[in-house]
Homo-oligomer: A and B are copies of this chain.
Amino acid sequence: MTSIRDIAKYAGASVTTVSRVINNSGYVSAATRFRVEQAIADLAFTPSASARRMRSGSSRMVGVVLPALDVPFFGILAHVIERELFRRGLQALICCTDESADQEAQYISMLLSQQVDGVLAASVLEDSAQYQRLVDAGVPIVAIDRALPGLSVKRVAADHHLGGRMMAEHLLGLGHRRFAVIGAPQHSPPVQARVQGAVQRLAEAGLGAQVVLGPAHDFDACRALAAGILTGGERPTALIGTTDIAAIGAVHAAIGAGLSVPWDISVIGFDDLPESRYVLPALTTVAQPLREIGTQAVAQLVAQMAGEEITLPDLPLRLVLRDTTAPPC
């Protein structure tokens, strides 16, 4: 590796001067600066991040802990976060936990040893003992979407409970009386909040709902889940999906069962992913501002890294009317 000392020798200057040129700090004569820059170009020199970190204590890296990248929701979130960090000269260290507590713990050890300047986490952990280690090390943390139970860290997330209410509200307004809530993944607190919100709103209208949740959040699993409740005689006229994927599965199940959507049965989703428009008929859904969640989380974290306090604007939900909901016949 060519080091700052090689540059100094080559340019006939001292290491101090070279450092000054690189970091634009202190005074350097134009002539010296030129010689040093020449040397840097000639020898294709790149400063060592490790050495810098060792001196400064700061790595300019941020840990981004997510359950996955291969599902659109987290893919989009990761993308926004990565871009937003890059824009600020920060490097994302993306960690896919695969919903495994064990791996999440390993990742946290790694983030600690990398001396990341901050952490953004959509955690799957029940207790936050692992994250406590980061807190103890003085690393700022911001929770995304899912909370970090027992830790007093800020959380950037949409109001999932309200989202559940909005889904129910829309179908109620259309005149539906027989509901089912279906979807996955059942272990996800945001999903649970949505279910709770929907059930609560229905209860306020004096109505109950069949709730069917599963562990797996793929298309097939969700379709099977929905298919299971479409057989009985007293089948629901309205299906509330916990997510867009769940709702898309439900639409397929309904059509597969010979029902017409939305005339025989209405379906609503949550998220408003690009995918929601791929189904035919296109999915009615409650949109959460996913990209804004990423942006705000980064803004919040960066503020905390600078020791500042900021208040973020609300993250509004929005009903997106498309073609899978209609009054019952």
Contacts and interface: CB of A to CB of B under 8 A. Distances in A.
A70 B71 CA distance: 9
Tier of interface size on chain A: 35 or more
Contacts of A86: 96, 103
Nearest to A251: B280
Interface in A85-119: 86, 91-96, 98, 103, 109-110, 112-115
Interface string A48-74: 111101100101000000001111101
A224 interface: no
Contact of A49 (B46, B68, B69, B114): B114
A110 B94 contact: no
Interface stretch (A75-83, A204-212, A303-311): A75-83
A112 to B, nearest CB: 4
Interface of A: 1, 44, 46-51, 53-54, 57, 59, 68-72, 74-76, 78-80, 82-83, 86, 91-96, 98, 103, 109-110, 112-115, 133, 136-137, 218-219, 248, 251-252, 255, 274-275, 277-280
Q: Pick the 10 closest A-B CB pairs, nearest first.
A: A75-B75, A70-B79, A69-B79, A50-B50, A50-B53, A46-B112, A278-B278, A70-B76, A49-B113, A280-B280
